[in-house]
Structure 1
Amino acid sequence: MTKLPIILVVDDERQSQEALKRVLADEFVVLTASNADEACGVLDSELVHAILCDQRMPGMQGVDFLRNVRDRWPDPVRMIISGYTSSEDIIAGINEAGIYQYITKPWDPDELVGTVRQALRLRELQNANAQASLDLKVAPAMLEEVVAKKTRALKRAHHFDRITHAPGSPMAGILDLGARVAAFDISVLITGESGTGKELLARAIHYNSPRGNRPFVVENCGALPDQLLESELFGCKKGAFTGAYEDRIGLFEQADGGTIFLDEVGETSPAFQVKLLRVLQEGEIRPLGARLTRKVDVRVIAATNRNLEMDVADKTFRRDLYYRLAAFPIHIPSLRERPMDVPVLAGRILADTAKAFGKAISGFSPEAEGRLAGYDWPGNVREMMNEIQRMVALSEDATMGTELLSPRLQAHARPAAIDGHEPLTLKDRVEALEAQILAEALARHAGNISRVADELGLSRVGLRAKMARYGLERSL
């Protein structure tokens, strides 16, 4: 049986420890410590894979503790949780403590689990890369063959044909546009709601372009303040600003010859937009604190969930930068605009998740398929992935039914016919409405059985019986 990764939560507040433990316990073994000394004791005795540490604690602060961890136990992925993080803290954390991610309070449970999952995947890849580096101290010809194989594998994995969609879906036209523009060295602006797969399309364009053998690097422009974003993209010299303890090569320089993907470019400030425009116009960067510029040859693919044309009209986004980025605009429609994709996407995600989780699951029940098809998916494909991963984690049967759906889908999904199944009967529809009312009341009262029973005029025993019938007790 595969062992679960071990996560160490360091927080002086017991309530915060318990909240994090509840959210993470389904996928990870969670250990807790109330201060740096307790955490060091855990690290001495346990093989910890990742650390979630509060920034503000009595005694040693989070960044200081993780700086010590980096020196003594370099293997765990280090993350900070804080509601008070300043840009100085971020810079110090990244440069001194090697922090992978800052997670701001209040955190979203699904996003937190996704971040930890991604951090552990990064650790796994780094370990594999380190081992590969040891194994690859061989003849250059063999090394070149290994690199070529990896590149071919990446190209296959990110081919346009691998992006799932149904026959007749608007995505067919979108992918055709992506395939056409891939061959031409011009900027692409991908628009669409969060979670629609903008980065997936960007990777397909890169790996199917003449630059496909060169680097593809990613930066979320909405996640960092201007100075740190400028340092990340353009690089910096030691001492250029508080926290710049060493020279750093920026992502534009790392992507030289390849492609850079600028996600959430619409969130950049007007001041930063001027600097980005110069890079696109002149094809050169100047690291922070440096006197000389450096030429770079980089294709830019940008993405945003904003309406940049409206932002241009409102003068919050530069018109000249917009036209530089949007040489070839592509819009990805939301999932609710292409409902025919829901069944095939759900099937693909289920198959991938079941394989990753080591579970033998054959599919969804017709009722569960109908509920998935009847939901609007405001979070698009990303939300669907979280929902199905949750269902697979909870499932104990080969077929997953509606009882595994989250309270959100229980409350808001409309029963729908799908794949030739007959529409739900009146009895089914009445039960679905009852389940929705119960789920909404439970969510409204944070799972307090007494308050929900009082509101709905039920006994506690009667309410629990209905919750068990609709699978709602497993969602609390």
Structure 2
Amino acid sequence: MPVPLDRPRVLVVDDEQRSIETIARILDDEFEVVTASSADEGERLLAQDPCQVILCDQRMPGRSGVDFLAGVRQQHPQTLRIIISGYTDADKIIQAINESGIYHYITKPWHPDALILTVRNAARLYQLQQENRLLAQEMRFSSEQFDDYLQRQRSELKQQFHFDRILRGEHSSMNALCDQVAQLAPFDISVLVQGESGTGKELLARAIHYNSARAEQPFVVENCGAMHDELLSSELFGHRKGAFTGAVNDHVGLFEQANGGTIFLDEIGDISPAFQVKLLRVLQEREIRPLGAAQSRKVDVRVVAATNLDLQEEVRVGRFRADLYYRLASVSLQVPPLRDRDGDIVLIANNLLREASQRFNRPVRGFSAEVLHCFSRYHWPGNVRELQNEVQRMLVMSQQEVIGAELLAPHIVREAEQASEEQGESLPETESHGLRSQVEALEAKLIRQALRRHQGNKSQVADELGLSRVGLRNKMDRYGLGEG
């Protein structure tokens, strides 16, 4: 605990009584002064009550002031030590100060104002040291709490973005892709993720990062599309104040922010040929130069890039540099569109509904069978992002526990009808209080598929289809889907 400094305690050690009285009289208005006529007496006083500042004469019988203060340093390292010397040999004084860790020395004859100022500064420094020690202890305690918090957050992120958390069915086209990504994630190589907009390329990039050795370092994202070169260069590489009009402060670029971690460059196929050259140099040299800076800076960043274009075709027609493509595509991944994931659509729709239900505080049991049928037949040009928008819109518009097909967007119904006709199916129609025979056939099919996916676990099947266990049991009995 810091010693209260309303009147800091000062110990004066000198074998000359007149000198002690003079110093005490000068300091008495501002400090609590205690005196000793020898080094031994000074040690006894310090043992009884520590002081903030010690003033000690160099020449004393028995032990010199330097020897005394050297001993004080061992027992009371926080005390500020000042020596008063009449020696004119500067080299000896400097050597003594260095050996004893003395805060300051005063040469004789000294001026009263200079003496007061020196002691006042020493007392203030002592106070700052005590405050700093308490702050350091508090920061150490806070940092331990913060470290624990970070570890919990990192653990949650790793679980959230684990490959097993990517929703997909038993025979999903995503299974092979997830296995491939799980195998390459630990290796520090660049990855190019290709696929249509809304297919979850960023989710895959996060899974790569949080399952790699860089998981505890930053993951930063930049969408490179529709951004002119100067702005994109500033965002990725940073700039210095005054580098261009409007640059009123220094800006740290995302490559530097991601140092040690991963940067995700979305829509990489949209960057200009000129910027392709800049990016290629950064990837080759592993260094950046902020706009307006004179020197480059080394960065250690793993790059995961994504695009909805066919970059190999872009290279073939000359719109994308081949050398940059091969820098980015140590491994190239292709994310399938949602329309090619028939077995996943129902899983994803129900999961999106659960998330939206919690976010908007709108409890519902699920979708009707006709809604799920239309979801499965629609081609989803906007992929998962479009499905999420449709689910949220239907949820906020619904007044029922089970969300019915009357809330479906008309274009989804029309395309589902067309797809069903092309496949020789009849799209189920709804009545005010039930489903017609075609819907029952579809319900039986959906339930049968869900039972296979969940290996007969009725709780999971009921949860997926938005049914209660009793409701699921009644439907299984009606459609002859018994234990056998």
Q: TM-score, normalization: structure 1?
A: 0.59
Q: Does 1:409 find its partner at 2:412?
A: yes
- Cα distance between partner residues in 2 of 1:361 and 1:416: 28
Alignment of 1:17-36 (within 5 A): none
Secondary structure of the structure 1 residue equivalent to 2:306: strand
C-alpha distance after superposition, 1:190-240 (max 9, x if no partner): 000000000000000100100000000000000421100000000001111
CA contact (8 A) 1:416 1:423 kept: no
Aligned residue pairs, count: 293
Residue 391 of structure 1 corresponds to 394
Secondary structure of the structure 2 residue equivalent to 1:232: helix
Residue 236 of structure 2 corresponds to 233
Alignment of 1:53-202 (within 5 A): 138-202=141-205
C-alpha distance after superposition, 1:77-125 (max 9, x if no partner): xxxxxxxxxxxxxxxxxxxxxxxxxxxxxxxxxxxxxxxxxxxxxxxxx
Code of the residue aligned with 1:306 in structure 2: it is L
Code of the residue aligned with 1:167 in structure 2: it is E
Residues 427 and 364 of structure 1, relative CA distance in 2, 3 Å threshold: closer
Select the residue among 254, 266, 273 that pairs with 1:251: 254
Residue 264 of structure 2 corresponds to 261
Residue 289 of structure 1 corresponds to 292
- Cα distance between partner residues in 2 of 1:338 and 1:363: 21
- Cα distance between partner residues in 2 of 1:414 and 1:199: 33
CA contact (8 A) 2:370 2:428 kept: no
Q: Does 1:272 find its partner at 2:286?
A: no
- Cα distance between partner residues in 2 of 1:189 and 1:155: 21
Residue 208 of structure 1 corresponds to 211
Give percent identity, aligned residues only.
Answer: 53
Residue 65 of structure 2 corresponds to none
Residue 13 of structure 1 corresponds to none
The Cα shift of 1:155 comes to 1.0
CA contact (8 A) 1:262 1:302 kept: yes
Q: Does 1:319 find its partner at 2:361?
A: no
Code of the residue aligned with 1:387 in structure 2: it is E
Please provide the CA RMSD for this pair.
2.3
Q: Does 1:329 find its partner at 2:332?
A: yes
- Cα distance between partner residues in 2 of 1:141 and 1:336: 48
The Cα shift of 1:425 comes to 5.5
Residue 85 of structure 1 corresponds to none
Structure with bigger gyration radius: 2
- Cα distance between partner residues in 2 of 1:359 and 1:401: 15
- Cα distance between partner residues in 2 of 1:355 and 1:170: 29
Secondary structure of the structure 1 residue equivalent to 2:417: coil
Residues 195 and 331 of structure 1, relative CA distance in 2, 3 Å threshold: same
Gaps of 5+ in 2: 1-137, 439-484
Secondary structure of the structure 2 residue equivalent to 1:279: helix
Residue 28 of structure 2 corresponds to none
Residue 342 of structure 1 corresponds to 345
Code of the residue aligned with 2:402 in structure 1: it is T
CA contact (8 A) 1:165 1:341 kept: yes
The Cα shift of 1:413 comes to 2.6
Select the residue among 343, 349, 354 that pairs with 1:351: 354
The Cα shift of 1:383 comes to 0.3
- Cα distance between partner residues in 2 of 1:330 and 1:172: 13
Select the residue among 219, 223, 228 that pairs with 1:220: 223
Residues 427 and 341 of structure 1, relative CA distance in 2, 3 Å threshold: closer
- Cα distance between partner residues in 2 of 1:427 and 1:250: 56
The Cα shift of 1:412 comes to 2.4
C-alpha distance after superposition, 1:128-159 (max 9, x if no partner): xxxxxxx9995321111111111111111111
